[in-house]
Every structure is written in structure tokens, then in C-alpha cells.
Amino acid sequence: MAEGTEAQGPPGTTAAARARPAAHAHTGPWLAQVLRERISAGELPPGTKLAEQALAEQLDVSRNTLREAFGTLSAESIVERVPNRGVFVAKPEAEDVREIYRVRRMIEPAALLWGELTEPALAGLEEIVGRAVAALEAGDVPGMADANQQLHGAVVSLAGSPTLSTVMDQTLARMRLVFNRMSDAPDFHTAYAERNRDLVELLRAGRREKAATALRAYLDTAEGELLDHLRRWGR
Amino acid sequence: MAEGTEAQGPPGTTAAARARPAAHAHTGPWLAQVLRERISAGELPPGTKLAEQALAEQLDVSRNTLREAFGTLSAESIVERVPNRGVFVAKPEAEDVREIYRVRRMIEPAALLWGELTEPALAGLEEIVGRAVAALEAGDVPGMADANQQLHGAVVSLAGSPTLSTVMDQTLARMRLVFNRMSDAPDFHTAYAERNRDLVELLRAGRREKAATALRAYLDTAEGELLDHLRRWGR
DNA sequence: GGGAGTGGATTGTTGAACAATCGGCTCCCG
DNA sequence: CGGGAGCCGATTGTTCAACAATCCACTCCC
């Protein structure tokens, strides 16, 4: 998994320089996306220092442009900026986990209660649940994690609000950081596939309040387990 | 209200250069804040083009630093960046108003339903309502607008989540842009002071579901009126 | 009168320079 | 031998100046 999917390549004509959208258009956002992917993928684990000069020449962009990308990522809490010290890949603590779940406990049930339950949206949710169950039976843990995140993202998208979907995406990115912190990630998602299925069935039946309540309980226990594992395993 | 509160002054020794936090620490965020205030205050009305070179020398910062501030503001949807064309003060259209209310209709009632109703929080809400009523009786329209925004911000802060509070702050900033678009702002807020009072009373009585439902209805009508006025007066 | 072509202005990006600050090292002193 | 003050190198924060790419408006030609 080292080549092919990753858009490696800066503007210049040097080393690994290919597949960049265009020379004179948005290198900043492109760069931010590259870093996002590398961080989510687990290389650049939490706590890693991102030195400006080194990274700039490795990615073959100017220090200025790299700085712009840092600004974006720091606004997303994916990266932490310490004045005069540098930027580091965010290293979520217990408080960060609590904040993540505070957000999720608000916007996910809200979307269930008040979002627009169109037929295609419901079908989409069921499709995702199907994939999660398939991954479960195949023992494909990363696949389950993926499907799980997609499901919760799809739930929020019921609200029909790009703003809230963005917030949820960023929150899920922070979740990935939390998982990256725990080197031995137990199969957190195994137990949740079933819960997700029940959730979508409640939605299909139109029982929104019940679904919202169940989701809140679900998020409560998930937060608790995560905090436990963080206490025991996370440094 | 032209001097004293505004932190005018860049790094150099030139013209209006005073009261800057520190030379070698965060001019970017400081600059973003200056622009935010100028935009919210109504100078730099929606649609204004923010030319890099002109603004840079007027504020006595480098074009690079100004660019960083633009990045921040564009992430907040306060400013719109058009590639190779420049940045403009955001000019909210009907769709933007709908998006604003989609967000508010989710997170405000959610905070009412599931936020933590501490005694000091309730007292804070009541205090804001008091100020709004006072402003109403004094005919102080800007004061009412202020209190109104503060109230809704305080509602969301019941969720206890910095992330959601930030989202709400940015959403309220976009609301201010909408009002700035409508040169003849009628007394939108007059009718809402009373509704706000009822809302807080319901909360005090512990009737959260009722409060949430009322707030959603409130937001619906507010959105409708805003869209009407935008159709008739906007542009 | 309408459309292609051209010139000027503005943005996107880079590179290098300098000041400020931090961390670690050495050296001195008790 | 231990501990703290002071210095040095490395990194970050900010600015300046240059160049390429793009767009807008104007002119000119048909």
C-alpha cells in the first residue's frame, strides 16, 4: 500500500512529482488533503512533529504553502500548533474523546429526529449496514471501521446541511486519530454492527424518537469503552 | 464607536500601527479578527472585493500574512474566495439563509433537549432575556439584535461543547452578514423578544420537549420572514 | 455591430532573508 | 561532583521581491 492510490507529486519537476491537479491552482488545499490522508492512514502517528523545512522539501512545496495547509489542518484539530515550537499531529486525550462524543450526542440524534427521511436516504443507510455486516462475517476489521464511520456520516447527512456534514467529517477524522493512538485496537466495531442494524430498522419503521434515544445510549457506552481503553492502553 | 475598542495597528512603524499584541507572535489570527470585526460592523459590506495589495498596505502587513487571514475567514464562510479572481465579502443568498437555519434547527433544539440545565446556565439565559426586554422597551434595536444573538449562543452552549459553540458563533456571524445585506433592516427582533422569554420560562419549568418544539417553530417562521424580506429588499 | 486578439492588472506560488524564540550544551561556581 | 547561568545552533514567525498563470477590459479588425 505504498503507491498507486496516493496522489504524490508537487509542482516542480523533481523527485516524486506527479498527478497534481494543476500547477497554478490551489496547491494549499491539495497539500492539506495529502497530509490528512497520511495522518488518517496511520503513518504520521499522533505526536509526530511536522518540521516545516523537512516536510516542505520532502513534498516539494514551499514552506509558505505548507504553512497554509497547516493552518487548515489546525483549524480542523487534526494538528496542533505550538507557538515557536512547531506543529504536531494531534494526540487526543480523554477530554478530546469527551468532546467528540458531546458533538456526536447532539448532532446525530438530532439528525435522526428532525432530518428528512427520504426513501433513497433510507436505502443508502441499509446498504451501508449490509456492508458492515458482510465485513463482520468476513472478519474484516478495517472494513467494519470504515462502514461504521460511513453510517454515522450518513446519519448526519439526513439533516441535509453541508455545514453539519463537515463538522461530522472532522469529528470522525478526530475519531480516527483516537484509534490510531491505541496501538492494539481491539474489535470495537464488532459489537456495534448489530446496534447499527437495529438503528436503521427503527428508522425504517418511522420510530424516530426511539431511534434517537437508542443512538444516544449507544454513544454513551461507546464513549465509556473508549475512555476505559484509553486509560488502560493509551500511554 | 470609531476608536478605542478596535485594535488598529500592524507590525511596522508606519501609519496606524499601535496596540498589536506582539511582533513575533500570531499576526495572522489578529488580522483575521480585525477583518471579522470590520465586516460584522457593516463597513466592508457584502460583495466588497478585498484586493490583496491594497489591503495589505492599508493594514501594513505582508500579502502573505493577509492571505493566511483570508484562509481562516473563508473557512468560516465570512469571505468567499474565487480562484484567480480574488476574495469578496460573502453575499448570502436565499440558499445560504436556508443553510443557516438548517444548522440552527438542528443544534439549538438539540441543546435544549439534551444539554445540561445547571442553575447558573438558566440564570444566564434569564439575564440575557432581561436585557433583551429592556432594549425592547427602550427602542434600542441594535441592543435587541445583540441580546437575541447572545441568547441563541447561550442556548447552544448548554451542550457544553466548544466545537458546537464555535459552529454556532460562525453561523451567527453569517446571520449578521444577512442583516447587513438588507439595508433597511426592519425590526425583526421585536417580535422575537417575547418568544425568547417564553422559551426560557419553559426551560425553567423543565419542559424541554415543549421548549425544543417551540424553538423549532420559532426558527421556521424566522427563516420564512427572512427569506421574504430577502426576496423583496435584497439586492 | 460583433467577435477575436492583445495588454495590463491581479492572483498563485516560490525562494530567500531576517528577527524572535526555544532547547540543549558548555562552562563556571559552590 | 551537582546545579544553575549563559551562550549557540536550530526552528519558527514574518516580510519582501520576483515570476508564472489567469482574468478583465479594451482595442482593432472584419
Lowest mean pLDDT, pick from A18-22, B79-83, B151-155:
A18-22
Nearest CB among B72, B106, B161 relative to A110 is that of B106
Lowest mean pLDDT, pick from A117-131, B6-20, B167-181, B213-227:
B6-20
Residue A209 CA to residue A144 CA, distance in Å, equals: 26
Interface test with B, best of A65, A84, A100, A107 (most B CBs within 10 A): A107
**In one letter, which amino acid is A84?**
N
Tell me the pLDDT band of B194, cut-offs 50, 70 and 90: confident
Residue identified by cell 437555519 is B101
- pTM of this prediction? 0.88
Distance B109 CA to D17 C1' (A): 53
Contact list in A for residue B216 (CB cut-off 8 A) is 114
Rounded mean pLDDT of A177-193? 78
Displacement of CA A85 from its chain's centroid (Å): 26
Nearest residue in A to B99, CA atom: A161
Question: Is A79 in a helix, a strand, or coil?
Answer: strand
Measured in angstroms, the CA of A24 and the nearest CA of chain B are apart by 9
Question: Is A6 in a helix, a strand, or coil?
Answer: coil
Residue identified by cell 483516537 is A178
Per-residue pLDDT, A184: 67
Interface test with A, best of B107, B155, B158, B223 (most A CBs within 10 A): B107
Per-residue pLDDT, B23: 58
Indicate if the pLDDT at residue A42 is higher than 50.
yes
pLDDT in tens, A130-156: 999 999 889 888 888 899 999 999 999
Indicate if the pLDDT at residue B9 is higher than 90.
no
Distance A3 CA to D17 C1' (A): 38
**pLDDT > 70 fraction of chain A, expressed in percent and rounded:** 86
Tell me the pLDDT band of A24, cut-offs 50, 70 and 90: low
Q: Do A161 and B64 touch (CB under 8 A)?
A: no
DSSP string, B71-91: HHHHHTTSEEEETTTEEEE--
What is the helix (H) or strand (E) element at residue A50, kind and residue range? strand A49-50
Helices B119-138 and B141-157 pack at an angle, to 10 degrees, of: 170
Q: Do A106 and B110 touch (CB under 8 A)?
A: yes
Distance B68 CA to C11 C1' (A): 14
Q: Do B68 and A72 touch (CB under 8 A)?
A: no
Indicate if the pLDDT at residue A6 is higher than 70.
no
Cell numbers of B104, please? 440552527
DSSP string, B32-76: HHHHHHHHHTSSS-TT-EE-HHHHHHHHT--HHHHHHHHHHHHHT
Displacement of CA A142 from its chain's centroid (Å): 13
Contact list in B for residue A83 (CB cut-off 8 A) is 25-26
Per-residue pLDDT, B17: 36
Per-residue pLDDT, A235: 53
Lowest mean pLDDT, pick from A21-25, A220-224, B99-103:
A21-25
The closest alpha carbon to A89, from A102, A105, A70, A106, belongs to A70
pLDDT in tens, B93-142: 999 999 999 999 999 999 999 999 999 999 999 999 999 999 988 988 88
Contact list in A for residue B166 (CB cut-off 8 A) is none
Indicate if the pLDDT at residue A15 is higher than 50.
no
Residue B174 CA to residue B59 CA, distance in Å, equals: 24
Rounded mean pLDDT of B172-188? 82
Q: Do A216 and B114 touch (CB under 8 A)?
A: yes
Rounded mean pLDDT of A45-72? 93
Rounded mean pLDDT of A193-199? 91
- Phi, psi of A2, deg, nearest 5: -115, -15
Tell me the pLDDT band of A2, cut-offs 50, 70 and 90: very low
Q: What single-letter DSSP state applies at residue B185?
A: -
Residues within 7 Å (Cβ) of strand D: A 22-25, 49, 51-53, 63-64, 67, 81, 83-87; B 10-12, 23-28, 61-65, 83-85
Contact, A148 vs A192, CB < 8 A? yes
Residue B167 CA to residue A208 CA, distance in Å, equals: 25
Nucleotide nearest to B25 (CA to C1'): D13
Cell numbers of A67, please? 504553512
Residues in chain B: 235
Nearest CB among B102, B164, B171 relative to A103 is that of B164
Q: Do B28 and A71 touch (CB under 8 A)?
A: yes
pLDDT in tens, B159-171: 999 999 999 999 9
Nearest CB among A102, A163, A171 relative to B99 is that of A163
DSSP string, A133-173: HHHHHHT-HHHHHHHHHHHHHHHHHTT--HHHHHHHHHHHH
Measured in angstroms, the CA of B1 and the nearest CA of chain A are apart by 31
Could you say which nucleotides of strand C lie within 7 A of any protein CB atom? 10-17, 19-23
Sequence-ordered list of residues with C-beta below 8 angstroms from that of B233, at least 6 positions apart, any chain:
B182, B183, B184
User: Which runs of E-coded beta strand occur in chain B?
Assistant: 49-50, 79-82, 86-89
Indicate if the pLDDT at residue B16 is higher than 90.
no
Tell me the pLDDT band of A232, cut-offs 50, 70 and 90: confident
The closest alpha carbon to B151, from B87, B200, B107, belongs to B200
Q: Do B106 and A105 touch (CB under 8 A)?
A: no
